[in-house]
Chains A and B, each alone.
Chain A
Amino acid sequence: MERVAETMTDEQIAQLVIETDTAPATAALSLRCAGAWIVQEIAQLERRLEALSMPGDGNVVIDGSAISALDTSGAWLLHRIIRKLEQRGRSVEINGLRPEFSALLQLVASSATAPENPLPPAPSLLARIGRHSWRHLLELSGMLSFIGECAIILLHSLARPHRIRWRPVLHNLQTAGFEALPITGLLSFLMGVVIAYQGADQLQRFGANVFIADLVGLTMLRELSPLLTAIIVAGRSGSAYAAQIGTMKITEEIDALRTIGVRPQELLVLPKMLALIIALPLLTVYTDATGVLGGMIMARAKLGVSFDVFLDRLGDAVSLSSFLTGICKAPVFAAIIALVGCHQGFQVTDSADSVGRQTTVSVVQSIFLVIVADALFSIAFNWLKI
C-alpha cells in the first residue's frame, strides 16, 4: 500500500488552514486540511488546535483533498475536530477525502466510546491514615497466621523426619551458608580491625594494651558477629527467598504445587528455614573467628600485643557463656529472616513491580526485626545476669 512507499519529509506535517468564506450570506467556515495526518506528525497541530477558535456559527466545510496520509491517530484528531464543532450545533460537511481515508474516519468514529468516568476524588488525610493502618494490621495478622502455618508444618515434619525434603535443605545450606563464607568472613574481619583500631588509642592512654583482647573478644562474640552475619544473610538470602517465591507465584507455580497436593510451605519454606537455622549459627562461629583474627592482627600492629599474649588474655576474658549468648541468637535470627523473606514472597501479586517491592520490604523488615530481637535478647540476658 502506498503508506509503505511514502517517506515523510518536513513539509508533510499535518496542517489545518482556516478560511472564512468571503460571501457573508452563507456564513460558512472552510477548513482545509493538508499534509500527513499521521501519529508522528500531528503533535504540533494538536498543540495549536487547543488555542484555535473557530469563528462564526454557521456551516463548516472541511476540505480533506490535500491530506497525503492518514492513520488512526490522525483520523481521531479529525474526528475530534468534527465532534467539537457538531457539539456546538454546527453542521459539518467533509469534501474531497479519499475513499480509504473516509473509511478510516468512519471506523475511528464508530469505535469512539463515551468519555471515561472521572477519577474518584483523592481520599482525605484521615481516610488515608485509616487505610494505611488497616493495611498494616492485615499484614501483621497475615504474618502471624503464616508463622502459625509454618510452625504446624514444622511440627508435622519433625514428627516424621523422613518426610522432610533433605535435598532442598542441603541445597539451601550450600547457597545460604557455604557460599556466604567469603563475604561474611571478610566483613567480620574488617569489623574486628576497626574495633581494635578504635579501641587501641583509648587503651594505650591507660597503658592497658592487653585488654584489647577483652574489647574485641566480647564485642565480636556477644554482639557484633551474630548481628553482622544476620544482616548480611538477610540481604543475601532473605531477598532471594522473596524474589524466588514471588516469581513462582506470578508464574502460577505455587498454585500448581497446591493442585498436586504439596503444601507450598512444606516444599519452599521449611527447607529454607531449616537450612538457615543450621547455617547461621555455623556462620556466626566462623565470623567470630575471623572478627577476632582481624582484631588480633590490628592489636599486634598498633599496640604490640603478640598473638600469644592476645590469645592468652582472650581465654580469660571471654567465658563460655559469652560465646554461647552470641551463638544462641543466631537460630532466632535465622528463623526471622527465612520467615519474613518467604512471607513477603507469598505477598507478591501479579506484577513485576510487586516482586521488587516485596523483596525490598523483606530485607527492610527482616533487618528491623533482627535488631529488635537482638535488643530483646540484651534485656533478657541482663535480667538473667548472663
Chain B
Amino acid sequence: MEQTQDAGAVVDIRGLNTRFGRNVVHDNVSLSVHPGEIFALVGSSGCGKSTLLRTIIMLLQPVSGSIRVFGQEVVGLRDEEALPLRRRWGVMFERGALFSSLTVAENVGMVLREHTQLSARLVAEVATMKIALTGLPADAGAKYPSELSGGMRKRAALARAIALDPELLFLDEPTAGLDPLSASGIDELVRSLRDALGLTIMMVTHDLDLLWRAADRVAVLGEGHILGIGTMTELSRSDHPIIREYFYGPRGRAAREQAWKKK
C-alpha cells in the first residue's frame, strides 16, 4: 500500500497499528477521506471500525502510524493543541451520549457556549435552529434525553454534533437500533446535511441500505486490514471472499437489489 501523504485529504491515515494487549486490532491500515465525501467504514462486528474512529478523534492512542486530520498530525497531540482541531469536527456517538441532566436544547447550546462568546439569546436560537435542521419537532428542545425515543435521541445527538458547524462529522452507527423508517430518515438527513453544509462525513455503519443510499466511498475492514476500498458498485464486484460474503449475504443482496431498483 502506498505510504505517501495525501495532501488534499481531510483525514489521512498511514500505516496505522493498534493493539490492545496482544490483540492486534489494526495492522498497517492506510486510507484517506476526501473533502466533501461521505466515507463509510464497514466490517463485521469487532473488526475495529469503532476503534479506528475513536483513534482518529484522539480517544485512543495507536501503537504506531500517522493520522492527519486537516493536514495536522493527531497522534501524540497534546490536549491544548488539539482544541482548535476538535472545534472543527463533530462526533455523534453510537448511543447518543447526550448529557442526561441537560435538555436537548441545553445539550446543543452547551457546545456553543463553551466555544463561542455568543449571547444567551443567540445560543438558544441557534440551538433551536439546529434541532429543527435535524428534523426534530419544535417541542423536542425542552425535553430531556430520557424522554426521547431512540430515533429522536440520534437526531438530538446529531444536532449537538453539528452545533459548531464542523467541517468534518464522525458518525458512529447512525442508524443502529432504529426502525426502518427512522433509519431511512437518517440516510436522507446525512445526505442533505452534507449537501447543505458542505460537510465531510466519516461514518461507521452496518446498515447496507445506508451504504447504498448515502456513502460515496466505502472501506471494508477485516482481519486488521483494509480489505477493499471504493464505491459500493466497485466493492460489489470485488472477488475478495469476505467482501463478497458481506455484500452477497441474504441481507446484502436485498439491499443491493433495492438500490438498483431506485436507480
Chain A residues proximal to chain B, CB less than 8 Å: 1, 3-4, 38-40, 42-44, 46-47, 50, 71-73, 76-77, 80, 100, 103-104, 107-108, 111-114, 116, 250, 349-354
Contacts and interface: CB of A to CB of B under 8 A. Distances in A.
B164 interface: yes
A73 B123 CA distance: 9
B146 to A, nearest CB: 3
B240 interface: no
Contacts of A76: 122, 125-126, 129
Contacts of B164: 39
B118 A42 contact: yes
Contacts of A351: 100-101, 144, 146
B132 A112 contact: yes
B160 interface: no
A250 to B, nearest CB: 8
What are the 8 A-B residue pairs with the smallest beta carbon separation, nearest first? A350-B146, A71-B165, A351-B100, A353-B101, A43-B117, A111-B132, A1-B198, A113-B138
Looking at A1, A47, A73, which has the most chain B CB atoms within 10 Å of its CB?
Answer: A73
B165 A4 contact: no
Q: How large is the interface on B (under 10, 10 to 19, 20 to 34, 35 or more residues)?
A: 35 or more
Given A4-B200, A351-B101, A352-B100, A43 B128 contact: no
Nearest to A79: B129
Given A1-B35, A113-B132, A40 B70 contact: no
B167 A3 contact: yes
A73 B163 CA distance: 9
B10 to A, nearest CB: 6
Interface in B91-137: 99-101, 112, 115-119, 122, 124-126, 128-130, 132-133
B197 interface: yes
Given A43-B118, A351-B144, 10 more contacts: A1-B35, A39-B116, A42-B118, A43-B116, A46-B122, A73-B126, A108-B133, A111-B129, A116-B124, A350-B144
Contact of B126 (A3, A72, A113): A72
Contact of A114 (B99, B138, B200): B138
A306 to B, nearest CB: 59
A151 B94 CA distance: 42
A324 B167 CA distance: 72
Nearest to A72: B165
A contact face: mostly helix, strand, loop, or mixed: helix
Contacts of A46: 118-119, 122
Contacts of A113: 128-129, 132, 138
Contact of A77 (B35, B122, B124, B130): B122
B196 interface: yes
A69 B196 CA distance: 14
B228 interface: no
Interface of B: 10, 35-36, 70, 87, 99-101, 112, 115-119, 122, 124-126, 128-130, 132-133, 138, 141-142, 144-146, 162, 164-165, 167, 196-198, 200
A39 B129 CA distance: 13
20 contacts: A1-B198, A3-B167, A4-B10, A4-B70, A4-B167, A39-B112, A39-B115, A43-B118, A71-B165, A71-B197, A72-B126, A73-B112, A73-B165, A76-B125, A107-B133, A111-B129, A112-B132, A350-B145, A350-B146, A352-B101
Contact of A353 (B35, B100, B141, B165): B100
Nearest to B122: A46
Nearest to B197: A72
A192 B144 CA distance: 51
B133 A72 contact: yes
A71 B164 CA distance: 9
Contacts of A47: 119
A306 B51 CA distance: 67
A4 B196 CA distance: 15
A288 to B, nearest CB: 44
A114 B129 CA distance: 10
B141 to A, nearest CB: 7
A221 to B, nearest CB: 46
B197 A80 contact: no
A304 to B, nearest CB: 60
Given A1-B198, A4-B167, A116 B116 contact: no
A38 B165 contact: yes
Nearest to A104: B196
A7 to B, nearest CB: 10
A72 B116 CA distance: 14
A111 B70 CA distance: 30
Looking at B35, B129, B145, which has the most chain A CB atoms within 10 Å of its CB?
Answer: B129
Contacts of B128: 113, 116
Nearest to B137: A113
A42 B124 CA distance: 15
Nearest to B142: A116
A103 B117 CA distance: 26
Contacts of B112: 39, 73
Contacts of B126: 39, 72-73, 76
A43 B118 CA distance: 5
A116 B141 contact: yes
Contact of A4 (B35, B100, B130, B138): B35
